[in-house]
Amino acid sequence: MTQVKFYGYGLPMMKKGELPGRLIVLEGTDGVGRSTQVALLREWLESSGYAVVSSGLKRSNLAGKGISLAQEGHHLGDATSCLFYATDLADRLERETIPALRAGFVVLTDRYIYSVIARALVRGIARKWVHNVLGFALVPDKVFYLRADLNHLIPRVLNARGFNYWESGMDFMSKRDYYDSYVEYQSQIIAQFDAMGDEFNFHLIDATHSVHDVFVDLRNGISKLIKGMRLGSPRMPKKKR
Amino acid sequence: MAKLPNGKQLPGKLFVVEGIDGSGKSTQLDLLRKWLISEGYCVAFSEWNSSPVVRATTRRGKKKQILSPTTFSLIHAADFADRMEQQMLPALKAGAIVLADRYMYTAFGRDVVRGVHPQWVRKIYSFAVRPTVAFYFRVPLQESINRIALGRPQLKYYEAGLDLGLSNDPFESFRLFQKRITREYEKMVDEFGLTVIDATLRLTEQQEMIREIVVPHLKGVLKAERSAWRDVLTKEQLYGRYLMDIGAERGQK
């Protein structure tokens, strides 16, 4: 059961109680393999008979497109960016995540508020402010933190797509070089995640291991969470004959 | 003084107007703006819900009617933050006058009426510059509704507050919505020290009062040579026929 519990002031008009689904978050830095694992986990869960939805940052109907467009022009200031991401999270939470949890789905989400917090804090935004803004967020059943150090991350990023403007923190780092900037920025982000571990009760997963090892770790962790859940997709109304 | 949230004074001045729809605040701000420009001051203007980066998303949300009280509040805060970071703050640091048509108090009114927590939304806007003067245009509900009804044959969904489910009739919903917002504004007069303007007075009377309040704050504010080209025209006997095209007379019309 997902308890209806929020980090802050919560969502207006949302009743306390329990939701039959599970909210599971995968967090970690860029290139650590979150999306690969979400894809694998979803398939495993579905083949085991669970109903699953997956979600991730910038995928809201309302704000996803707007954020991507704004980032193309490198136009986003720090507070603006944080509030834009908050809009995206709130929209998905209200319109997708909570209805899915109510219907008994397992919701796998690739990043949650913690990524938004980490990015804001390294840019010098006040912690209290960010926490208040994101106070509408539902507390998940579990947060898996996929951790890998830079030595493991860099080859993966180079193999996959190279360094990207935002992932290298080029919007605020003083270095003009993508590589230097990436190293410095991602180290700071990792430090923020590490510091959040206790506060938000992260379950640490060593993501320097092989994809298969990471998958097994995640599967073991999730198996415990879904024990006792009713199998099968949410009941469809029976067709009248 | 316009002040940063940490109390640090900015060289520029920030004047904002607030009030329900149809209170006449935009008209008054426009008159003030034209007057300040004619007096040679550097004036920047920022309007609620006009960020070039965020506005398209807000419009999408309104058009598709997919905004909840929480996302409505957050997207307007994002719009405000963008304008604060890109328009208002740089101008205030440079020592200019910034005029804002609606400010955070609009969010404190509308969003709270929609059901978000008053402290949550106040804390979100804690990064906002504290205005030099915030004018609140107090108007009887019926008067403002008459003004709106004259200009607008149809009210939009969120504008009328139809998302609150107060009434199915847009005009009745609008009336109930505005009434609740007025209640919030009245609470804010003391909370934030808003300067109340009686919006039932004649336009010119209101404008006089506003200028009287603004003038003492204008000492040392950045002035701009608005007509630097005038000198050339006289000396060279030109008309400046094409200066209009490049916007040299912007703000003087």
Token pair 């006792």 is found at A228
Question: Inter-chain contact A94–B51, Cβ cutoff 8 Å?
Answer: no
pLDDT at B72 over 80: yes
Question: Inter-chain contact A83–B68, Cβ cutoff 8 Å?
Answer: no
Phi, psi of A136 (to 5 degrees): -80, -10
Q: Which residue of A has its CA nearest to B64?
A: A62
Q: Point out the residue among A12, A86, A128 whose CB comes nearest to the CB of B74.
A: A86
Q: Which residue of B has its CA nearest to A83?
A: B78
Give the 3-state secondary structure of chain B: CEECCCCCEECCEEEEEECCCCCCHHHHHHHHHHHHHHCCECEEEEECCCCCCCHHHHHHHHHHCCCCHHHHHHHHHHHHHHHHHHHHHHHHHCCCEEEEECCHHHHHHHHHHHCCCHHHHHHHHHHCCECCEEEEEECCHHHHHHHHHHHCCCCCCCCCCHHHCCCCCHHHHHHHHHHHHHHHHHHHHHHHCCEEEECCCCHHHHHHHHHHHHHHHCCCCCECCCCCCHHHHHHHCCCCCCHHHHCCCCCCC
For residue B71, the chain A residues in CB contact (below 8 A) are 62-63, 87, 90-91, 94
Q: Does B172 touch chain A (CB under 8 A)?
A: no
User: Bridge partners of A63?
Assistant: none
pLDDT of B125-172, one tens digit each?
Answer: 999 999 999 999 999 999 999 988 887 778 999 999 999 999 999 999
Separation CA B65–CA B171 (nearest Å): 18
From A137-146, A161-170, B68-77, the region with the lowest mean pLDDT: A161-170
pLDDT of B186-242, one tens digit each?
Answer: 999 999 999 999 999 999 999 999 999 999 999 888 887 656 666 677 777 777 777
C-alpha distances in Å from residue B72, one per residue of A87, A90, A190, B69, B76: 8, 10, 32, 5, 6
Q: Which of B103, B104, B97 is nearest to B44 (CA)?
A: B97
- Chain B from 100 to 119: CB within 8 A of any A CB: 114-117, 119
pLDDT of A205-218, one tens digit each?
Answer: 999 998 899 999 99
- Torsion region of B45: left, alpha or beta (phi above 0 gives left; psi -120 to 50 gives alpha): beta
Q: How many pairs of residues across A and B have Cβ atoms under 8 Å apart? A: 107
Confidence category of residue A241, pLDDT binned at 50, 70, 90 = very low
Counted domains in chain A: 1
Separation CA B238–CA B253 (nearest Å): 20
Token pair 């830079």 is found at A150
The per-residue pLDDT for B113 is: 97
Q: Which of A117, A120, A151 is nearest to A135 (CA)?
A: A117
Q: Which amino acid is at A230?
A: R
| Domain-embedded: residue A240 | no
CA distance A59 to chain B (A): 13
For residue B85, the chain A residues in CB contact (below 8 A) are 77-80
**The two structure tokens encoding residue B172:** 């009745």
Q: Which of A220, A195, A192 is nearest to A205 (CA)?
A: A220
CA distance A219 to chain B (A): 34
pLDDT at A88 over 90: yes
pLDDT at A163 over 50: yes
| Domain-embedded: residue A133 | yes
* C-alpha count within 13 angstroms, C-beta hemisphere, residue B211: 14
Confidence category of residue A234, pLDDT binned at 50, 70, 90 = low
Question: Inter-chain contact B85–A87, Cβ cutoff 8 Å?
Answer: no
Question: Inter-chain contact A79–B85, Cβ cutoff 8 Å?
Answer: yes
Q: Angle, nearest 10°, between helix axes B104-114 and B170-192?
A: 130
| Domain-embedded: residue A234 | no
Q: Does B214 touch chain A (CB under 8 A)?
A: no
The per-residue pLDDT for B37 is: 87
pLDDT over 70, % of chain B:
93
User: Would the pTM count as exceeding 0.80?
Assistant: yes
The per-residue pLDDT for A168 is: 84
The per-residue pLDDT for A205 is: 97
For residue A80, the chain B residues in CB contact (below 8 A) are 51, 53-54, 78, 81-82, 85
Separation CA A84–CA B57 (nearest Å): 10
- Which domain, by its residues, includes A37? 2-226
Question: Inter-chain contact A13–B115, Cβ cutoff 8 Å?
Answer: yes
Q: Which positions ≥6 away from A117 have C-beta within 8 Å? A: A127, A130, A131, A134, A192, A196
Q: Write down all domains in chain B, each with its CATH number in brackets.
A: 2-222 (3.40.50.300), 229-253 (no CATH)
CA distance A138 to chain B (A): 13
A194-A53-A161 Cα angle (round to 5): 55
Q: Which of A114, A161, A104, A120 is nearest to A142 (CA)?
A: A114
pLDDT of A16-44, one tens digit each?
Answer: 888 999 999 999 998 888 988 999 999 99
pLDDT at B248 over 60: no
Q: Does A83 touch chain B (CB under 8 A)?
A: yes
Give SS3 for A25.
Answer: strand
The per-residue pLDDT for B250 is: 46
The per-residue pLDDT for A235 is: 52
| Domain-embedded: residue A232 | no
| Domain-embedded: residue A175 | yes
DSSP secondary structure letter of residue A94: I
Beta pairing, strands A2-3 & B9-10: unpaired
Q: Which of B93, B88, B102, B80 is nearest to B11 (CA)?
A: B93
Q: Does A97 touch chain B (CB under 8 A)?
A: no
Q: Does B51 touch chain A (CB under 8 A)?
A: yes
Q: Point out the residue among B56, B77, B115 whose CB comes nearest to the CB of A83.
A: B77
Phi, psi of B141 (to 5 degrees): -50, -45
| Domain-embedded: residue A231 | no
Confidence category of residue A225, pLDDT binned at 50, 70, 90 = very high
Q: Which residue of B has its CA nearest to A71?
A: B53
CA-atom Rg of chain A in angstroms = 18
- Torsion region of A228: left, alpha or beta (phi above 0 gives left; psi -120 to 50 gives alpha): left
Residue A201 near residue A143, CB atoms below 8 Å: yes
pLDDT of A108-157, one tens digit each?
Answer: 999 999 999 999 999 999 999 999 999 999 999 999 999 999 988 887 77
Which is more confident, B245 or B58? Answer: B58
C-alpha distances in Å from residue B113, one per residue of B160, B171, B181, B225, B238: 13, 17, 6, 45, 58
From A62-66, B69-73, B100-104, B107-111, the region with the lowest mean pLDDT: A62-66
Separation CA A230–CA A241 (nearest Å): 27
* C-alpha count within 13 angstroms, C-beta hemisphere, residue B191: 12
| Domain-embedded: residue A35 | yes
For residue A91, the chain B residues in CB contact (below 8 A) are 66, 68, 71
Separation CA A38–CA A16 (nearest Å): 29
Q: Which residue of B has its CA nearest to A126?
A: B127
| Domain-embedded: residue A14 | yes
Which is more confident, A231 or B160? Answer: B160
Interface confidence, given as ipTM, is: 0.76
Which is more confident, A172 or A189? Answer: A189
Q: Which residue of A has its CA nearest to B82?
A: A80
Q: Does B37 touch chain A (CB under 8 A)?
A: no
Token pair 């919505």 is found at B177
CATH number for the domain spanning A46: value is 3.40.50.300
Torsion angle, alpha carbons of A154, A36, A120, A184, to 10: 0
Q: Point out the residue among A8, A82, A90 whose CB comes nearest to the CB of B71.
A: A90
